[in-house]
Amino acid sequence: MTTKSSGPAESIQHPYQEIGGLAHQGVFGEINEEDIEERLEFHGEVQSNNDLLEIERQLTEDLEEPEPRNSEQVKILLTKDLSEASRLLENTVAILTEKDSQQERSAQVNRMITGAYSCYREIYESKTRHAQQTLDRFLQHR
């Protein structure tokens, strides 16, 4: 896909606008110039895990927000919800492990929580994989 320009120099001067135009033609209709600039700047930097999780959360949140179908509240698990739940469970297990004098009991509770939460962890991993693949495809076509 190419856009009309007066020459290579013009397209280099306005890469964010050109990428934005391409994004609007594809499946990324909600992406604006600021989003593109932020993503391209991010692509060249070293990020912490928290930065990566925040960016992933923003991407998947934008892709996952449902359109209300009727007056009833539609329930949906967003990756930010799953991430928050996981963080809270990890904190709970850490407190119990640290404070419980009976290590066997806290280890058993840890195993039970980990096992019970595994289905949600799989959902979270699936959603984050999808978001990463979407971002990778976008960056490859820039």
Written as one letter, the residue type at 63 is L
| Residue-level pLDDT at 74 | 85
| Residue-level pLDDT at 76 | 86
* 118-137 pLDDT, tens digit each: 999 999 888 888 888 887 77
Q: What residue segments make up the domains of the chain, in order of their start?
A: 7-46, 76-142
Across the range 83-99, mean pLDDT stands at 93
* 66-87 pLDDT, tens digit each: 565 566 788 888 889 999 999 9
Tokens representing 54? 């925040």
7 vs 130 pLDDT, higher one: 130
Q: Is the model's pTM score more than 0.75?
A: no
Nearest to 142 by CA among 7, 32, 23: 23
Task: Pinpoint the alpha helices (H) of the chain.
Answer: 8-13, 15-25, 33-43, 49-64, 79-99, 103-140
